[in-house]
Amino acid sequence: VAATNVPWLEGLNPEQLRAVETLDGPVLVLAGAGTGKTRVLTTRIAHILGTGRASPGQIMAVTFTNKAAREMKQRIGGMIGSAVEGMPWLGTFHAIGTRILRYHAELAGLKSSFTILDTDDQIRLLKQLIQAENIDEKRWPARQLAAHIDRWKNRGLLPDQVPASDGVFANGRGVELYEAYQERMAVLNAVDFGDLLVKPIKLFTENPDILADYHRRFKFLLVDEYQDTNVAQYLWLRLLAQGTDETKPNICCVGDDDQSIYGWRGAEVDNILRFERDFPGATVIRLERNYRSTSSILATASHLIAHNEDRLGKTLFTDMVAEDSEEKVTVASAWDSAEEARAVCEEIESLQTKSHPLNEMAILVRTSAQMREFEDRFFTLGLNYRVVGGPRFYERQEIRDALAYLRVIAQPEDGMAFERIVNVPKRGLGDTTVRKINALSRDQDMSPLAAARLLSETEEIRPAARTALRKLIEDFDRWRGNLDTLPHTELAEIVLDESGYTKMWQDDTSPQAPGRLDNLKELIRSMEEFENLAGFLEHISLVMDVDSAEQEDAVTLMTLHAAKGLEFDTVFLPGWEEGLFPSQRSLDENGKAGLEEERRLAYVGITRARKRAKLWFSSNRRIHGLWQSSIPSRFLDELPVDHVDVIEQTSSYGGYGARGYGNYGASRFDKPLEMDSAYQTPGWKRAQAARSTGKRPSSGPMTIEGELVARSVSTKASSFALGDRVFHQKFGYGDVSLIEGNKLTIDFDKAGRKKVVESFVTPHNQ
């Protein structure tokens, strides 16, 4: 440990100290997990400020997440006290890009008040453009175009820079649409996320004087997690780091090639490998001492990652003496994912009773669909938890959409639910139609679904919209009619299929789409635990009501991708099974490179742990909706036996193994024996009984028709009489020729005979 009288430098090892104190010229810190890279970066900023080398406004530091930026700000403040006014430009590439664009909005063709479009807005806009070009949207969905545009932007390519060979989408018209999209956004004074990277690049290349201002202004550039920068971010940094001999900023990047896990999103690990070429004279510093993890954890992670061929290779050691109390890394197995969740939560509770705070425990999953089982378990046990890097399972967009369909079936009065999905997937029911439905439902005090039905039977809305609406209502009638005859899980699958919702995500080529499809399958699976749809929906409303435990002591649940840079005393790593982890998709799409990226992800996962890393696999898991017996992950075979304890199953569920697996797959609605008592009338049995007698259970709720008939009867008698002269907003003047409940047939002077809704008509007294 270097002797120093500067407080923030205390405790740094010599290499760390060198990385902090080498302030002139480019520096690359290339080091494994937990070696203090982030700490070096933070200390370096404190050092620059503390020694007066630069003022906060002369420092720009890039982090991978907004959360990391907030933490870094706090730490710097803590190191140097409150002596320094102001703060450096510290944030993600996107946050800093936004700031740059706001300053120079006009030069980028924007007003400084520009809005940042979210994905939904982006898709909507693209859809309009595709329609305007008369391109068949079914064949060429907007989401697919959005994915191409994202990919181009990640590579720093504006429309005129996309290579001709990249003639994708609608027979090569993608680039043309990309250009139209950029023009349209300019008119709307809007940008998308990708623009936050490409627009500053364009700004700097077209305005060398402004770039030179930045060179003069920023004396220090710092970048964390450099291994996961994409091409656009790399170009952006290169420009900012140029300058003349006098103004060239000092750039310092830290990263770990073994932790490059965003290749699927355009990150290029090569950026780190060619740093020395890009920044001649760079000082490269390697940190080898790990301060985070026990020797077992470190040995396990190092041994695993050594199976990757494509790496720089480095040694890591820890001075943490292996104490007797040091726990080895454990590998345990469960019968299925439910038991896995139960067992993990049992361990969490047992640690908690030994006064380990929940804040120091994390469950890191490969895919977000794995979260649901844990969340339900937390809910049952009343265990506080937070989901990092995304909404909780039942709050995800696709889950809320699916739930909305089910709610409309179970509770036709549920207006919010109907509104949510009336045009999802897009079925040509635009804002005007939705507004009309709402107006009518408010006016007449009827459910939006009933209002929609009424509208679909009249000519208040365009024929195309009317047809679409009628189809949707017929679908809901049919689904609701099956509520008592089909198992609710099967019904849910049918609904998602027939409504086109599943297809919407199947056609989506964004990187998130496969995960959303998995989540939908997981949703259906979660329904099996309930006897019927009503019971399931009630459970959901209770689960959704639990406040997010932001401040309290809580277990963290997140994906491995989101866990980068973080650390916890205890880390649970469930689902180490072939197909899930490594993910089959990565293997299929990227072969060996995909496998190596998965292995890096495993390395990231294990190295998050300070004291305990607990790996799990299940013998059975439902993959793509079907129970499958699973094979333990190949990564488990790659762990060093000396440092790993394999926990033999002594659990009360052990009996299943002997029962054999064959009959488990016989019915998708079958449950293991142990569950049977809690599951007295499985949905499929009830359904079979109902089918065989040909009768519907008498307790069944009224059908949708029943509900509507009841409503029509209760509406007041028409306030119009045959022959009345009336006025209608859209069709003008006319005479009432037929009255059916609250529907009127009117002979309009100009528009001819039309069927309209009574409440949209006013009497006209001649």
Which residue, 422 or 606, has its beta carbon nearer to ligand ATP? 606
Which residue, 288 or 347, has its beta carbon nearer to ligand ATP? 288
Residue among 195, 265, 257, 259 at smallest CA distance from 230: 265
Please choose which of Mg ion, ligand ATP, none residue 13 contacts, taking the beta carbon within 5 to 8 angstroms, the exact cut-off set by kind.
ligand ATP
CA gap 304, 312 in Å, rounded = 15
Q: Which helix (H) or strand (E) holds 690?
A: helix 683-693
122: annotated active-site residue: no
**291 lines the binding site for ligand ATP (CB under 6 A):** yes
- Minimum distance, C-beta of residue 600 to ligand ATP, in the bound complex (Å): 11
Which residue, 38 or 370, has its beta carbon nearer to Mg ion? 38
Please choose which of Mg ion, ligand ATP, none residue 488 contacts, taking the beta carbon within 5 to 8 angstroms, the exact cut-off set by kind.
none
Which residue, 5 or 766, has its beta carbon nearer to ligand ATP? 5
Taking CB under 5 A as the rule, which mask of x and - marks residues 199-238 in contact with Mg ion?
A: ----------------------------------------
38: annotated active-site residue: yes
CA atoms within 13 A on the CB side of 41: 31
- CA distances from residue 25 to 66, 219, 246, 525, 735 in whole angstroms, order as listed: 27, 11, 12, 56, 86
CA gap 548, 553 in Å, rounded = 11
Taking CB under 6 A as the rule, which mask of x and - marks residues 341-360 in contact with ligand ATP?
A: --------------------
Q: 15, 150, 192, 225: which is the annotated catalytic residue? A: 225
- Minimum distance, C-beta of residue 668 to Mg ion, in the bound complex (Å): 44
Q: Is 78 helix (H, G, I), strand (E, B) or coil?
A: helix
224: annotated active-site residue: yes
For Mg ion, which residue of 38, 98, 154, 441 counts as binding (CB under 5 A)?
A: 38
**35 lines the binding site for Mg ion (CB under 5 A):** no
Stretch near Mg ion under the rule CB under 5 A, chosen from 161-169, 564-572, 583-591, 677-685:
564-572
265: annotated active-site residue: no
Which one-letter amino acid corresponds to residue 238?
A: R
Count Cβ atoms below 10 Å from residue 763 Cβ, excluding itself. Answer: 12
DSSP string, 161-201: GS-TT---STTTTHHHHHHHHHHHHHHTTEE-TTHHHHHHH
Count Cβ atoms below 10 Å from residue 353 Cβ, excluding itself. Answer: 7
Which of positions 244-263 make contact with ligand ATP (CB under 6 A)? 256, 259
- CA distances from residue 422 to 28, 76, 267 in whole angstroms, order as listed: 53, 50, 38
Q: Which helix (H) or strand (E) holds 386?
A: strand 385-387
**Contacts (Cβ under 8 Å, ≥6 apart) of 108:** 101, 199, 202, 203
For Mg ion, which residue of 26, 194, 487, 565 counts as binding (CB under 5 A)?
A: 565
**Contacts (Cβ under 8 Å, ≥6 apart) of 458:** 743, 754, 755, 756, 757
CA gap 703, 412 in Å, rounded = 10
Please choose which of ligand ATP, Mg ion, none residue 12 contacts, taking the beta carbon within 5 to 8 angstroms, the exact cut-off set by kind.
ligand ATP
For ligand ATP, which residue of 8, 26, 35, 93 counts as binding (CB under 6 A)?
A: 35
Instruction: Report the residue number whose CB is nearest to Mg ion.
Output: 38
Q: 608, 611, 612, 622: which is the annotated catalytic residue? A: 608
Stretch near ligand ATP under the rule CB under 6 A, chosen from 9-17, 297-305, 334-342, 591-599:
9-17
Q: In the 8-state DSSP scheme, what is residue 540?
A: H
Phi (first) and psi of residue 90, to 5 degrees: -130, 115
**255 lines the binding site for Mg ion (CB under 5 A):** no
- In the block, residue with structure tokens 């409150």: 82
592 with 495: CB under 8 angstroms? no
For ligand ATP, which residue of 9, 16, 130, 316 counts as binding (CB under 6 A)?
A: 16
248: annotated active-site residue: no
Please choose which of Mg ion, ligand ATP, none residue 36 contacts, taking the beta carbon within 5 to 8 angstroms, the exact cut-off set by kind.
ligand ATP
37: annotated active-site residue: yes
For ligand ATP, which residue of 33, 117, 170, 495 counts as binding (CB under 6 A)?
A: 33
Please choose which of ligand ATP, Mg ion, none residue 522 contacts, taking the beta carbon within 5 to 8 angstroms, the exact cut-off set by kind.
none
CA gap 155, 35 in Å, rounded = 31
Stretch near ligand ATP under the rule CB under 6 A, chosen from 26-34, 101-109, 181-189, 695-703:
26-34
- Minimum distance, C-beta of residue 186 to Mg ion, in the bound complex (Å): 38
Which of positions 584-643 make contact with ligand ATP (CB under 6 A)? 607
CA gap 241, 649 in Å, rounded = 56
Which one-letter amino acid corresponds to residue 58?
A: Q
Stretch near ligand ATP under the rule CB under 6 A, chosen from 36-44, 235-243, 662-670, 739-747:
36-44
Count residues near ligand ATP (CB under 6 A): 19
For ligand ATP, which residue of 34, 266, 487, 582 counts as binding (CB under 6 A)?
A: 34
CA gap 332, 337 in Å, rounded = 12
**Contacts (Cβ under 8 Å, ≥6 apart) of 170:** 130, 133, 135, 139, 140, 177
546 with 379: CB under 8 angstroms? yes
Binding site for ligand ATP (CB under 6 A): 11-13, 16, 31, 33-39, 256, 259, 291-292, 565, 567, 607
Binding site for Mg ion (CB under 5 A): 37-38, 565
Show which residues are catalytic: 37-38, 224-225, 259, 608
